[in-house]
Amino acid sequence: MSKLKRVASIDFLRGLSCLGILLYHVRVDLWVGWREISNFPESYTAFERAVAWLSVPAPFLGYAILLFFLISGFCIHYPFAENSHPNWKAYILRRFLRIYPPYLVAVVLTAAITYFCHLFWSDQTWDPGRIWRVLSLTQNYPPDRGQFLSNPSLWTIPLEMEFYLLYPVAFIFFSKLKSPFLWVFAGGLSIWGVYLSNQGFAWTSFTALFFWPVWLLGAWAACLYRKNKLSNLSYVLIIPPLLLSLGLALASRLQDWNAWVQYLLWACFYLCLLFLTLSWRNNSSNSLLRALYRFLSWLGKISFSVYLVHFPLFKLFGYLHISIFAEKPANFLVSLGYLCLVCPLGWLFYLCVERPVHFWSRNLIRAK
């Protein structure tokens, strides 16, 4: 498989994950809600009740964030999998410049939308302490953890930075000892962190330690791919565990199993999906499938920008809709229409912020 195709496959998965998260959040924040329609059906038309069923898969799509973590582990480890002497200084600088400047602009944009929508008075999270924690990427930690209500999705950005900082330590540790037991050690460390979280130790809950096994699975996939063990993997070997892990993941969500168990099962499903995508040859003659693949690959390319700005844009659309119609959309298709507007606006953010920053950081690192 060529490098170009590999990148396209990863972009496709990023796009799939991004779409899942958008669908999950639009159902939560830009729609009257399933409970409202089911409790008061007489207040809504037959058509509104019918299209409400389109929202049924959305609660399961929030786990698509785990696919982002998997892809992050894969992409970060892939270029270093056969490099015994990485330039860690350049690596840290590149990852920081890749993530933080667009994140900072997204925070400013969130503040502007919050002000425009007159949400500062109802959103008590915009206090000086919270602003500092968000800017310093420490908002996931106690004693006063939490996000801006107008952009709660920013919780994953500190995790990414923590993964990036942990990775060199793990790489050096692994490369020195070269033992498969190190993967067991890393997994055991994560299980220990999850155990502490379940015991009420808040410092390990929803931090890099909590999601470290998911990120490591992505790095492991990169190792397999570098050894050319995924390119020609038979679908017969992938489809059964993919369906099994999906069934278990759905069951864990419906029966409300332990949160970390749910995350791990969904991560296994997405790992199988990653294997399937990397071994897939996109030679379909179906024009609809090819168009869908191109769209999701395009969405994957701009997915970071879309992710950064989608929630405040939902807040903006909700504010404008309520200003005109006095309530959130009752027709789920209208909510999906607003979702469609987020994609070109995210693309605009990509063109104006993310891509220029990316080029600037690349030139800066080369100059050093």
Q: What is the pLDDT of residues 216-233, one digit of tens each?
A: 888 888 888 888 877 777
310: confidence class by pLDDT, cuts 50, 70, 90:
very high
CB-CB contact of 230 with 217 (8 Å): no
pLDDT of 37 strictly over 50: yes
Asked whether residue 105 carries a pLDDT value surpassing 50, the answer given is yes
Count of structural domains within the chain: 1
Q: What is the mean pLDDT of residues 112-121?
A: 78
Does position 121 have pLDDT exceeding 90, yes or no?
no
Question: Count of residues for the chain?
Answer: 368
The pLDDT value recorded for residue 316 is 94
In which residue are the tokens 């565990």 written? 241
CB neighbour list of residue 110: distance below 8 Å, 6 or more residues apart: 148, 150, 151, 154, 311, 312
Residue 173: C-alpha distances to residues 75, 186, 215, 242 (Å):
19, 10, 16, 32
The amino acid sitting at 59 is P
Q: How far apart are CA 267 and CA 245, in angstroms?
A: 9
Please check whether residue 50 is in contact with residue 12, taking contact to mean a CB–CB distance below 8 angstroms: no
Return the pLDDT at 5: 44
pLDDT value at position 181?
A: 58
The DSSP secondary structure of 8-24, one letter per residue, reads HHHHHHHHHHHHHHHHH
Give me the domain span that covers residue 347. Answer: 3-367
Please state the rounded mean pLDDT for residues 101-122.
Answer: 86
Tell me how far apart the alpha carbons of residues 287 and 238 are, in angstroms, rounded to a whole number: 25
Mean pLDDT to the nearest integer, 303-327: 94
CA neighbor of 321 nearest in space, from 307, 309, 338, 345: 338
147 close to 125: Cβ distance less than 8 angstroms = yes
pLDDT digits (tens, 9 = 90+) for 268-290: 899 999 998 888 766 666 788 88
In eight-state DSSP terms, residue 298 is H
In contact, 232 and 279? CB cutoff 8 Å: yes
* Contact predicate 300/13, CB 8 Å: yes
Q: Residue 2: pLDDT band by 50, 70, 90 thresholds? A: very low
